[in-house]
Amino acid sequence: MRALYPGSFDPLTNGHMDLIERASCLFGDLVVAVLDNPSKRPAFSVDERIRQIRSSTAHLHGVEVISFDGLTVNCAKDQSADLILRGLRAMSDFEYELQLAHTNRSLDDTLETVFMATSTQHSFLSSSVVKEVARFGGAIDHMVPKEVALDLNRLFNSAFLPH
C-alpha cells in the first residue's frame, strides 16, 4: 500500500515524526507531501521544510518527501496513493479532520482517509506551539528533530539581531 501524508509541516515536529515512523512500518510506501501554500505565510520555505523532513527521515525505508499545491486528492492521484493518512491528537482535531475526509471522499470516492492516533507523549505538540516557544527562547529540543531545532533557533535568534 502507498500512503500519502499531507500537511504543512511548518516545521516538522516529533509528533509528525512519530506518525511517519509508525506509518512507514504499516504501509510499504509513505509519501510525505508538503503543502506549498504561501498565503499561510510559513516560517520555513517549502524547500527548507522538505530538507528538514528528508534529513530527519533518512533512516527510514520507503519514505519519500515531495511538495504539492492545490487539492490533496489530485496529489494523491498523481502519486498513485491508495490512501490519505492524517493524525489525530485530540477531540479538537476530530471535527475538522472528519470534514476534510468527507470532502476528499466526495471528490474521489476511491480514496480512503486513514487516521492514526498520536502517541500520548506527543499529543500536545503542534508546529505553531513549537514556533511560539522557540520565538520566546524556550527549550524545544524535546519537541522537534535536531535539524529543525537548529533551524528554529537560527530563525528566531536572527530575528532579534539588530539590523
**Binding to ligand ADP (CB under 6 A): which residues in 30-89?**
86-87, 89
Catalytic status, residue 135: no
Identify which of 12, 31, 8 has the alpha carbon closest to the alpha carbon of residue 146: 12
Catalytic status, residue 89: yes
Catalytic status, residue 131: no
What is the crossing angle of helices 127-135 and 146-159, to 10°? 50
Given the residues 16, 49, 122, 131, the one annotated as active site: 16
Interacting span for ligand ADP (CB under 6 A) from 13-21, 24-32, 43-51, 102-110: 13-21
User: 50-70 b/e with 16+ CB inside 10 Å = b?
Assistant: bebbeebbeeeeebebbebee
d(CA 19, CA 7): 12
119's torsion region: left (phi>0), alpha (psi -120 to 50) or beta?
beta
Q: Are strands 63-68 and 29-35 parallel, antiparallel or unpaired?
A: parallel
> Which DSSP state fits 121?
G
Q: Quote the least distance from Cβ 163 to ligand ADP, whole Å.
A: 31
Q: Out of 4, 8, 52, 151, point to the residue binding ligand ADP (CB under 6 A).
A: 8
For position 7 contacting ligand ADP by CB under 6 A, the verdict is yes
| Contact (CB, 8 A) for 118 and 21 | no
**Binding to ligand ADP (CB under 6 A): which residues in 84-143?**
86-87, 89, 93, 118, 122, 125-127
Catalytic status, residue 40: yes
- Smaller CB separation from ligand ADP, 128 or 157: 128
Which sequence positions are flagged as catalytic?
16, 40, 89, 127
Which stretches of the chain bind ligand ADP, using CB under 6 A?
A: 7-9, 13, 15-16, 19, 86-87, 89, 93, 118, 122, 125-127
